[in-house]
Chains A and B, each alone.
Chain A
Amino acid sequence: MKKVKLYTEPSHLKEKPSFATVAIFILLAIYTIGLFTPIVWAIVVSFMDKNDYSNFFGVSRAFNLGIKYTFDNYAFSWENLKILTTTTEMEYGIPDLLMHSLIYALGSAFAFTLCPVIVAYLTARFKYAFSKVVYTFVLITMTLPIVGSMASEITMLHNLKIYDSIPAVFILRFNFLSIYFLILHAQFSSIPQEYTEAAKVDGASNLRVMGQIIIPQSLNTIVTVFVLSFISYWNDYQVPLLYFPSYPTAAFGIYDFVQNASPEGNYIPIQLAATLIMALPIIIVFIIFNKKLRVSVSMGGIKG
C-alpha cells in the first residue's frame, strides 16, 4: 500500500502577488537602480580620460566604440594628489592617507573591541554585586542621551597633552559603553559554567580559562564586532578632522580632494579615481565579511 505523504505548508505560504506586493517590488527596484546608478557611473567615469570627459557626455559615451579608457587617473591620483594640513603644513599623498586610516581604524577597532570583551567577560562570568552595577550602568548610559560633549572631550585631550595624536583616540575608544557590551555579555553568559569549573579542576588559572576556553568559543562574535568597528572608523572623517588634524585619513582625503581640489586635480574623472582608491579597502572588507556582517547587524538590532 502506498504511503500517503502528509502535505505540510511552509510557514511563508506562497500567495499570488497582490497590488501592494508589486508596488513594493517596484519601489525596491527603483531604490536599487537609484543606488547602483551613481556608483556604476562613478566607476565608468573614473576610467575616462580627463580631457575626454565633459559635462554633457557622461555614461552615454561609455558604450561608444573608440572611447578612451585609461588607468592614468588612478596612477595620477596615487602619485600627485596631496593634502596640506593646516596644523603642521605638511603634505600627505594617498598612500599616507591610507596608512593613517589603517592605523586609526585598526587601533580604534582593537581598543573598542577589547574593552567590552574584558568587561563583559568579567561581569558575565563573575556574578559579583559589582558586576550587576556595571551592567545597570551601561543600560543607563545607553538610555540617557548626552548631547554636545565633543568640545569638552577635545579640551580634555588638550589638558592631558595628548591632543593631535592617533594613539590618544585609542584611549578614547577603550570603553565599554556600547551595545556590543550587551551582546558580548549575553554571549559569555550563555556558555555553561561547567567549562570553567572543569578547567579549574585541571589547574587552569583565570587568565587561561578566559583566553583558552571561553573567548575562543565567542570568537565569531568578537571578530564581527571588530570588523564592524573597523568599517565604522575607516569611514569616519569628522573625528580625525577634529581630534588629530595633523594626520588626515582617507575619508577626509575624499572630502578634501573634492571640496578643495587643486588645479591639476580639478577633473571629475581624477577626483572619482582618488575617491574609489580610498574606498577600495573597505569594499574588499565588505566582500570578504558580507554575510557575517549582515547577520551581526540583525543580532545587534534584536539585542538592542
Chain B
Amino acid sequence: MRRSVARKINRKNRTPLRKGDVIFYVALIALPLVQIAIFYFGVNFQSILMAFQKSVDGVFIFDIGPNWNKFVADINTKEFWVMIKNSILVYIFTSLSGTVLATIFSYYIYKRRTLSNLFKFVLFIPSILPGILLVVMFQMFVSSGVPAYADLLFGIKMPDYFSTDFATSDIRFILVTIFSIWISFGGQVLIYTAAMDQIPNEIIEAGKLDGTTSFTEFIHIILPSILATVGTFLIVGIASIFTNQNNLFSFFRPKDMQNTEYTFGYYMFSIVYSGGAGSSGYCYAAFLGLLTTSIVAPLTLLARKLLSKVTS
C-alpha cells in the first residue's frame, strides 16, 4: 500500500508523456548521445583494445607482449622512478602547497583586507593569459632580465638558468615547478573565496561575540565550512599525478629535455607526440593509460568516500 502511494507521488514529479514533447526530446538529444557513443564509449573501448595490441605496418594486431615487455623494461630503469618521483613532487608542490596558499590568500580576500580587490584581479590573470605566453615571459625574464638586474644593481654575474650548458636537470626542474606553483592557485583562490562568502554572517558574528580571533575563526569556522570544496580540488588532483606535464613541453624542446626532468604526464604526451597514429607508440600510450586509470580510479573513489565521511 505504501509503495504504491510512493510510486504515485514519484510519478507526479515526472513530466507526463506527450507525443509532441517526446518527439522534441528525442530529436534534440539524439545527436549528443551519438557523439557520446562514438567519442566517449567508442574511444575508451578502443583505448582498452589498443592496450592489448601492437602495430604492424600501421595495422593493430592483438599481442600484449610488446607493451608489457616495454613496460617491464621501463620500470627497471632508474629514469622511470625518477619520473614517478617528479610526478609526486609536482602534485605535492602544486596541489598541496598551492591549496594551502590559496586557502590562506582566500581568507585574506574574504575578510576584505587591504587591497583585496586588486589581489583578486591579479590572482585571476594566470587563468586567462595563455600559459605559453606566461612561460615565454617567465623564461626570458629569468634567462635575460634577472642576470641584467643582478649585474646592474649588485654587480653579480648570473648565468642563464634555463640553458642546458649551465643548468643541471635539478635546477631546471625546480625553476619549472616554481613557475607551476606560481600560476596554479589563482583560480582556486576565487573559488574558495566564493565558498567562504556562502558562510552565514550569523555564524561569524556569533564567533566574534564568543571572542574568536582571526586565527581561531579560520581554523574552527572557515576551514570546516569549505572543507568539501578544498577536498574536491585535492581529490581531482590525484589524477593529475599521472597527467600533469608540469609545463615541460612549453619550456623546452623535446630534444633538449633530459629524462630526469620528465613527469609521467609529459612522458605519455611525448609518446603520443613522437609516435604518430598507427604506431606502436600509440598502443603503448593506451596501455599506460589503462594501467594508470586502474590505479587512479579506485584511489579517487576512496578519497571521495573518505572526504564524505569527514565532512558529514
> Which A residues form the contact surface with B (CB < 8 A)?
9, 11-13, 15, 17-18, 20-21, 24-25, 27-28, 31-32, 34-39, 41-42, 45, 55-60, 115, 118-119, 122, 125-129, 134, 141, 143-156, 158, 163, 171-172, 174-177, 205-207, 231, 234-235, 237-238, 241-242, 251, 254-255, 258-260, 268, 271-272, 275-276, 278-279, 282-283, 286, 290, 293-294, 297-302, 304
Residue from A39, A42, A55 in contact with B148 in the complex, judged by beta carbons closer than 8 Å: A55
Residue from B29, B38, B118, B213 in contact with A122 in the complex, judged by beta carbons closer than 8 Å: B29
- Interchain Cβ contacts under 8 Å between A and B, 20 examples: A36-B122, A38-B140, A41-B137, A60-B148, A145-B238, A148-B293, A149-B43, A149-B44, A151-B47, A151-B289, A152-B44, A152-B286, A175-B40, A231-B128, A237-B132, A242-B272, A254-B130, A258-B139, A272-B137, A275-B136
CB distance from B231 to the nearest CB of A (A): 11
Chain B residues 272-286 with CB under 8 Å of chain A are 272-273, 275, 277-278, 281-283, 285-286
A31 contacts which chain B residues (CB < 8 A)?
A: 119, 122-123, 182
Number of residues from B at the complex interface, CB < 8 A: 112
Contact segment of B68-76, B78-86, B296-304: B296-304
Residue from A18, A36, A251, A272 in contact with B140 in the complex, judged by beta carbons closer than 8 Å: A272
Given contact pairs A144-B297, A156-B39, A275-B136, a sample of 20 additional A-B residue pairs in the complex whose CB atoms are under 8 Å apart: A18-B213, A21-B214, A25-B108, A28-B105, A28-B115, A35-B122, A56-B151, A58-B148, A60-B148, A122-B25, A125-B15, A128-B14, A148-B268, A148-B293, A149-B43, A152-B44, A152-B50, A155-B282, A235-B130, A301-B187
Judge whether A151 and B275 touch: CB under 8 Å: yes
Judge whether A38 and B132 touch: CB under 8 Å: no
Give Cα distance in the complex from A264 to B40, angstroms: 45
Residue from A20, A35, A127, A144 in contact with B14 in the complex, judged by beta carbons closer than 8 Å: A127
B288 and chain A: residue at smallest CB distance: A148
B136 contacts which chain A residues (CB < 8 A)?
A: 42, 254, 258, 271-272, 275
Judge whether A175 and B290 touch: CB under 8 Å: no
Chain B residues 11-42 with CB under 8 Å of chain A are 13-15, 17, 20-21, 24-25, 28-29, 31-32, 35-36, 38-40, 42
A13 and chain B: residue at smallest CB distance: B208
Chain B residues 166-216 with CB under 8 Å of chain A are 182, 187, 190-195, 198, 201, 204-205, 208, 213-215
Judge whether B105 and A42 touch: CB under 8 Å: no
Judge whether A56 and B148 touch: CB under 8 Å: yes
A127 contacts which chain B residues (CB < 8 A)?
A: 13-15
B39 contacts which chain A residues (CB < 8 A)?
A: 153, 156, 171-172, 175
CB distance from A282 to the nearest CB of B (A): 7
Judge whether A175 and B190 touch: CB under 8 Å: no
Residue from B14, B112, B292 in contact with A129 in the complex, judged by beta carbons closer than 8 Å: B14
Q: A293-B124, A297-B124 are in contact. Are A42 and B149 (CB under 8 A)?
A: no
CB distance from A20 to the nearest CB of B (A): 7
CB distance from B193 to the nearest CB of A (A): 7
Judge whether A297 and B187 touch: CB under 8 Å: yes
User: 6 closest pairs, A vs B, by CB?
Assistant: A148-B289, A301-B191, A298-B194, A11-B201, A152-B47, A145-B239
Judge whether B277 and A158 touch: CB under 8 Å: yes
Judge whether B145 and A299 touch: CB under 8 Å: no
A254 contacts which chain B residues (CB < 8 A)?
A: 130, 132-133, 136
Judged by a CB distance under 8 angstroms, whether B310 is at the interface is: no
Give Cα distance in the complex from A146 to B136, angstroms: 31
